[in-house]
Structure 1
Amino acid sequence: MNLILLEPHNVTHDGQALLHDQRRLEHLRKVHRAQPGDTLTIGCTNGLIGKAELTALEPDHAALRWAHLSEPPPPALPVHLVLALPRPRMLARTLEHVTALGVKRITLLHTKRVEKSYWQSPELRTDKIHQHLVLGLEQARDTVLPSVTLVKGFRAFLNEHLPSLLAQGRGLVAHPGMANPCPRGINEETVLFIGPEGGFIDWEVDQLLDAGCQGMHLGPRILRVETAVTALLSRLF
């Protein structure tokens, strides 16, 4: 927790806040080894970053006081990530990783090789997704929450979502066997498509390419989704 992210319910009045959740209280005690009077880095959700004094650390709450917040959050990556829904444990880690890297627009998509049972996972509850996004923001000292959209049908995605997404920027499909390697260091709005563990099926790839996307690969190795996502974002941006 490199930043304490304050949400609206944490702020009591101007310049003061209370934390009640045990996760952050335990982190303050066991990792930061914080004591009243210590200075900590804080940020307001979707707002600015600054320093705050820890004024109290009790078993059931912590109190913070700050004078002003003036530092902007780090810049976002110019990417909309369209990710075939991973298995639940991998989804949790992937959301945290991509949030820490600066992704602000995420679509979780059903494809042929996504198990239908994944859509019943508790990890897709709004509160669980929010929890993983917050962990990513705290790691990266960021405050801006990503948006997450769930799309359960690939055909519906093609008709209802894909045209507007590609109007935002260049479409890139990461898939083994594509002719072109992943580009490096681009600085343009991009829609990045990443398939499930078994990859997109040929028909799905064809539909994305026919819509105007470009195929690319990361080399001969087949990577887990969470590894591929991190590698692609690092190489692209």
Structure 2
Amino acid sequence: MNCILLPAVNFHNESAYINAAAQIEHVNQVLGAKVGDTLKVGQLEGHLGSAVITDMTPERILLGNVDLTTAPPPKLDLTVVLALPRPKVLRRLIMDMTALGVRDIILINSYRTQKSYWQSPMLNRLDEFVLEGLQQGIDTAAPRISLQKRFKPFVEDELAALMTNRAIIAHPYGALSFSQYMQQQLKNAESPQKVLPSMVFVGAEGGWIDYEVEMLARQGCQAVHIGARILRTEAAVNAILGQWLL
């Protein structure tokens, strides 16, 4: 973690405390910090800054001279609709998308999503994975995460209201590459920032089936590919979202 994020209740005036076991272990074992050292800290849904360690015990680290003056980085104007992946992959993806600054994440059912994934205890730990991603990306504002267990009703009844701009489907058999898609949009755009879509659909292992792609296309989504290689879901997500960072 590149900063220590704490809830608002852990702050009082210019002091604060760390009481989460994982954070205490990180300060002790990874940072090797001692009383008098300065830490990068932030308040969840607040600002970033620094604090000085004033006391340390196995159960709590006390902080003084807390100075939170830096606003968190802006979110990407982006919603990622992700077919619910395998539980072990879910943790990495939530962390990565959070660290990259995705504003909204929608976990959706798909034909290739196994029903057992929706009973995974990992879904009860999303806040934990978000915190890890925020601390990695030095951010304080969590993405909004929602669960959609029914693909067809979501696409037919809710998608149109959520599409504030264009939407693309990451699909290895799409007619256009992402580069070609961007070149087409640039022809009539005032700036590169305005051509990026506001929504990206990414399938789980095995991708989307033709029926799903066709349903999304009827709502105005464009299928695009990112090359000849078939990538794992987490590799595809990071490759695509890198375009927004650039």
What TM-score does the superposition give when structure 1 sets the normalisation length? 0.94
Q: Please state how far the C-alpha of 1:8 moved relative to its aligned partner.
A: 2.3
Q: 1:202 aligned to 185, 210, 215, which one?
A: 210
Q: CA deviation at 1:9?
A: 3.2
TM-score by length of 2: 0.91
* Equivalent position to 2:134, from 130, 134, 137: 137
Report the equivalent of 2:70: 71
Q: Please give the root-mean-square deviation of Cα atoms over the aligned residues, in Å.
A: 1.4
Moved beyond 6 Å, runs of 4+ = none
User: Identity of aligned pairs, percent?
Assistant: 40
- Asked if the contact 2:52–2:66 (Cα under 8 Å) also holds between the matched residues in 1, the reply is no
Report the 3-state secondary structure (helix = DSSP H, G, I; strand = E; otherwise coil) of the residue aligned with 1:227.
helix
**Aligned partner (choices 173, 176, 180) of residue 176 of structure 2:** 180
5+ unaligned residues in a row in structure 2: which ranges? 183-190
- Aligned match of 2:199: 191
Distance in 2 (CA, whole Å) between partners of 1:65 and 1:169 is 45
User: Could you tell me how far 1:20 is from its partner in structure 2?
Assistant: 1.4
SS of residue matched to 1:90: helix
For 2:208 and 2:64, the matched residues in 1 are separated by 50
Establish whether residue 161 from structure 1 lines up as the match of residue 155 from structure 2: no
**Matched residue count:** 233
Q: 1:182·1:236 contact (CA, 8 Å) conserved in 2? A: no
Return the alpha-carbon distance in structure 1 between the equivalents of residues 104 and 199 of structure 2: 9
In structure 1, distance between residues paired with 2:96 and 2:211: 29
Deviation sequence 1:43-83 (CA, Å, 0-9, x none): 11111111111111211111112343111111211110000
1:171 matched to 2:177? The reply is no
Cross-structure match for 2:144 = 147
Amino acid corresponding to residue 220 of structure 2 in structure 1? G
What secondary structure, in the 3-state scheme, does the structure 2 residue paired with 1:41 have?
strand
Q: Is the 8 A contact 1:182 1:235 kept in 2?
A: no
Provide the residue aligned with 1:5 in structure 2: 5
Structure 1 gaps of 5+ residues are none
Tell me by how many angstroms 1:236 deviates. 4.3
Counterparts of 1:95-114 in structure 2, within 5 Å, are 95-114=94-113
Aligned counterparts of 1:24 and 1:164: Cα–Cα separation in 2: 40
CA separation of 1:122/1:186 partners in 2, compared to 1, >3 Å: closer, same or farther? Answer: farther
| Residue number in structure 2 paired with 1:226 | 234
User: 3-state SS of the aligned residue for 2:55?
Assistant: strand
Give the whole-Å Cα distance in 1 for the aligned partners of 2:85 and 2:192: 26
Q: Report the 3-state secondary structure (helix = DSSP H, G, I; strand = E; otherwise coil) of the residue aligned with 1:27.
A: helix
Q: How far did residue 159 of structure 1 move?
A: 2.7
Q: Deviations over 1:67-116 (max 9, x none)?
A: 43111111211110000001000000000011111112000000111000
| 2:147 counterpart SS class | strand
Does the residue aligned with 1:78 lie in a helix, a strand or coil? strand
Question: Are 1:76 and 1:102, in contact at CA under 8 Å, matched by a contact in 2?
Answer: yes
